Amino acid sequence: MDDDGESVLMRKISDFNPASHEDVSVTGNGRRIPNGVGTVGSLDGNGSRNPAFRPGFATTHNSNGNVEPQDCIPSERQSESERRDLKSTGLLKNGRRKKSRDVRDVPSKVQTGSTSQYKSRWPLSSSLIPSRPSRTNPRRFSPERKMDRRVRPASAKVTRGGGSKEDAMKGQRLRPKSAVSEKKSKEPDESGDFFQVRSSMMFDGSINRSSTTGPLTLQLISDSPRERRTLSIWQLLPDEILLTIFSHLKPSDLLACSLTCQGFYRVAMDESLWKVIRLEKKLLTDFYLTQIGLKHPSRVIFSQCQGKTVTENGLRNLFRTCVDSLQELNFSGCTGEMFSGDSVLLHASRCYNLSSIDASWCNVTDNGLNAVTGGANRLSSVCLNGCQSVTDTGLRSLVERHGSSLIEFEVFGCIDLSPLTLTRIGDVCKNLHSLNIGQCYKVTFESLFEVIPKLKALRHLDVRGCKQGLPVGCGHVNSAGYFIHKVTSQVTMYTLGLSSVCLNGCQSVTDTGLRSLVERHGSSLIEFEVFGCIDLSPLTLTRIGDVCKNLHSLNIGQCYKVTFESLFEVIPKLKALRHLDVRGCKQMRDDCVRRIAKCCKRLETLVMANCNLISNVSMVDIAANLKTIRSLDVSGCKKITNEGVRSVAMCCIRLEAFNLSSTSIDRKSISTLASYCSQNLRDLKLNCCKDITEASIVKLLKHCRSLETLHLYGVKGLRNLGLLKLQYPCLMYE
């Protein structure tokens, strides 16, 4: 380009008004970057940075179409005020720009063939170059790197401070300390790394206020009411996460968490965590009942609780505050003058949303039953086991009003249940899944024959203790056996898929009836209890192992015909077994226990009472293979000594119930249990263990804080049992 062309181009550039253009460069991928930040210039389509248009500087276009700077000569059209400003700052001398250590000169263009090259790069921003740049790296200032400049990525690391010669040789762009301090005080890093969390500051669960944290964390910490130097990370969790964590805790643990701080107390007292309140073997008062009612629970379970001091005010406060929320009430086995069956049911009758009631083993009469029957809109579960005062009239009124919604109906021991009421159950209760009519002596086989074909949805049936024979003159000698056999045939024929069958104590059930039941419902059976069915043969037991693959509970206690070989064959096939009861099996040996421990890994309850052939070898096998067992009963096994108890106590840390009655243990076993089972042990039976001392019992009570029931019948070494009862009032001695 000739001189005239260059002068025209310079005049056009000098007329450029920067205020009318946005000082922003756009890359090829659409990213917007402000000019003058990092490096000076604009970006072409490939993302390369070209020198920016600046007033007073001449530029040309090379053969590739990119803009290149000319000599830094001020424009002729610059005003005199601008020239005076440049001269006052010392940057203008003799019409040319003065050299500076902070800004690199851009020399004249050197023509090499058809391309334009420069001896140095265009001046960078003063915030990205040191005050004294290092010249030791020749490649950094080579002409080849001049045209290959790129935008520094957001992940590029920038060394804070002056730096060293080694850093400069590596090609790192350093900053002066003044720029770093200014950037900390004004705005986040230009590279985009504005939020940085150091993991080393959070390994102990706390955050140091003096550490480098992002704006969000700083805001959360600043909003905290605490003024200490450190802040627990738990206090930064949202309430929703804390509610989820607290929902897995027991009420006692939840109360302990509420005493930690005000934040935990506020979350722990949320009503959603108290929808289910379960208390077992506790001493209740009016204050406790009032506080329970204020939580508006949907399920309240008082199992074997004592309410000696409970009055009508406590019951009124409980059911008045949760009249809309209460859906399930269970107070089975509770005792007290006012905390009895009728008193509780009369106050609970105002809860119209009540759907499940369990008043087993309480003094319930027709008055309380009629009150809750008329007050509830829809009852689906009623358990009145052991309530002998309930008449047939009260049961019939319950069936007539809520029969269509009943799913579970248990009246074990209600001796006044008549065949007419049982027949009415078959007519109305079409959706009944569970029926317990054990020890209802008035039930006849004709009524059972009539009602069972109508209960097609039946899953659980309990007819233990039904001894009603056939009418006189029927011609059968063994009327009870014929009765049970026929009932079993009816159940097998008309029910679709039984999952639970309980025939404990039915000694007249024959092996043929049990086998037909297993053949038809074996694939759906989950619970099978035939305790005391002495006619159970080894062949039927083997068939149980072949068919009942989903069996979880098996009770074959006191089935004297069961042999060691049949047990050894059937156990490996029942891999899903959870509960096993083989008490009284005289042929139970250590080899069979070893097979049980190795094959049934999910076993939680094992009862081997009065199996005289079991020794410490079985205890060692249980400790080695069944570490998750929760209940173990070896009462009456005389060969069990301290060594076997020690092996179980050291390995089975989840053990909750342990029956060691009538075994050969002494004080050493009690000390071992106090040392290794102090966390989860709740029920311990030591009846007729003569060598137990009072000091070992005291040590056990001090260490086992979770212990609720201790059986010490027949232990003669205790002299101050009354003092122990006063010191540990919550513990029940039986």
Q: How confident is the model at residue 449 (pLDDT cuts 50, 70, 90)?
A: confident
- For residues 283-297, one letter each, b for 16 or more C-beta atoms within 10 angstroms of the residue's C-beta and e for the rest, the string is ebebebbbebbebeb
Residue 521 resides in a domain: no
Q: Of 559, 453, 548, 551, whose CA–CA distance to 506 is shortest?
A: 559
Which range (400-414, 499-513, 678-692) has the least confidence? 499-513
If you average pLDDT over residues 70-98, what whole number do you get? 52
Residue 261 resides in a domain: yes
pLDDT tens digits along 452-500: 888 888 888 888 776 654 333 322 323 334 444 455 555 555 555 778 8
Q: How confident is the model at residue 57 (pLDDT cuts 50, 70, 90)?
A: very low
Residue 189 resides in a domain: no
pLDDT at 664 over 60: yes
Cα 22 to chain center, whole Å? 56
SS3 at position 437: coil
pLDDT at 72 over 90: no
pLDDT at position 641: 94
Q: Which domain holds residue 247?
A: 236-273
Residue 590 resides in a domain: no
Token pair, residue 184, equals 């900390």
Share of the chain above pLDDT 90, in %: 39
Q: Of 250, 344, 252, 346, whose CA–CA distance to 305 is shortest?
A: 344
pLDDT at 720 over 80: no
Averaged pLDDT of the chain = 75
pLDDT at position 216: 57
If you average pLDDT over residues 99-115, what whole number do you get? 44
* Cα–Cα distance for residue pair 393/373, rounded to 1 Å: 13
Show the 3-state SS of 338-369.
CCCHHHHHHHHCCCCCCCEEECCCCCCCHHHH
Residue 248 resides in a domain: yes
- Which alpha helices (DSSP H) does 381-464 contain, by range? 392-402, 419-428, 445-451
pLDDT tens digits along 186-233: 444 444 433 344 433 444 444 444 444 455 555 555 555 554 456 677
Q: In degrees rounded to 5, what are phi and psi of residue 702? A: -75, -35
pLDDT at 281 over 80: yes
Q: Tell me which amino acid residue 303 is.
A: S
Largest pairwise CA distance in the chain: 142
If you average pLDDT over residues 285-309, what whole number do you get? 92
Q: How confident is the model at residue 111 (pLDDT cuts 50, 70, 90)?
A: very low
pLDDT at position 280: 87
pLDDT tens digits along 118-158: 444 444 444 444 444 444 444 444 444 444 444 444 444 44
Unique residue bearing structure tokens 């309980």: 502
For the chain, the first-to-last Cα distance in angstroms comes to 114
Residue 676 resides in a domain: no
Instruction: Report the domain count for the chain.
Output: 1
* Cα–Cα distance for residue pair 624/408, rounded to 1 Å: 40
pLDDT at 428 over 70: yes
Q: Of 419, 415, 367, 427, whose CA–CA distance to 394 is shortest?
A: 367
pLDDT at 69 over 80: no
Q: How confident is the model at residue 90 (pLDDT cuts 50, 70, 90)?
A: low
Residue 243 resides in a domain: yes
pLDDT tens digits along 328-342: 999 999 998 889 889
pLDDT at 722 over 60: yes
Q: Residue 245 sits in a domain of what CATH number?
A: 1.20.1280.50
If you average pLDDT over residues 300-324, what whole number do you get? 93
pLDDT at position 435: 92
- Which alpha helices (DSSP H) does 577-660 contain, by range? 590-599, 616-625, 642-651
Residue 426 resides in a domain: no
pLDDT at position 376: 94
If you average pLDDT over residues 524-542, what whole number do you get? 91
Which run of H or E residues covers position 242? helix 239-246
If you average pLDDT over residues 597-626, what whole number do you get? 93
Q: In degrees rounded to 5, what are phi and psi of residue 274? A: -120, 30
SS3 at position 288: helix
* Cα–Cα distance for residue pair 409/437, rounded to 1 Å: 9
Which range (58-72, 181-195, 251-265) has the least confidence? 181-195
Q: Tell me which amino acid residue 369 is.
A: L
If you average pLDDT over residues 519-529, what whole number do you get? 89
Q: Tell me which amino acid residue 573 is.
A: K
pLDDT at 423 over 80: yes
pLDDT at position 395: 95
Q: How confident is the model at residue 507 (pLDDT cuts 50, 70, 90)?
A: confident
